[in-house]
Amino acid sequence: MNSRLFSTFVAAVAVAALGSIAMAQGNPEAAALENPVAATPESIAAGQASYKQYCASCHGATAEGGVGNDLIPDSPNLIDAEWDHGSADGNIFDSIKNGVPPNFDMIPWSNRLSDDEVWNVVNYLRSLAE
């Protein structure tokens, strides 16, 4: 390998590594989103209702995660400190509203839940994590 080819290779590896760090931290624009919905008992109760209806089948009744199958990988725990796609309220909102690229095993819910309803779910998950 000549040296120019080698430095191109090193640069490509560095870009790939940075890319996966960015993925792990989630979308920085989403991370900066402020949660506009106060975590009132009403918000948390509404979030719980949506969670039971749309999310519990995969992420589990207690949001501690669920086992996958031939079609879909394990669904992650949503009440621990480990977040694959960012831990800010805005990242969690983004994962729920827009789904998780590139595979979208976690589909977008924007056609079923309004933005406020997604924030209610974020507030519910935060209340479970406390």
User: Which residues of this protein are in contact with ligand HEC, per CB under 6 A?
Assistant: 54-55, 57-59, 72-73, 75-76, 78, 83-85, 92, 95-96, 100, 103, 105-106, 109, 121
Whole-number minimum distance, CB 11 to ligand HEC, in Å? 27
Closest CA to 27 of 107, 105, 95, 110: 95
Closest distance of CB 50 from ligand HEC, Å: 6
Which residue is listed with tokens 């624009």? 29
> Closest CB to ligand HEC among 3 and 25?
25
The region that residue 40 occupies, defined by phi over 0 for left and psi between -120 and 50 for alpha, beta otherwise, is: beta
Shortest distance in whole angstroms from residue 73 CB to ligand HEC: 5
Angle at 116 between CA 79 and CA 33, to 5 degrees: 70
Closer Cβ to ligand HEC, 17 or 107, answer by number = 107
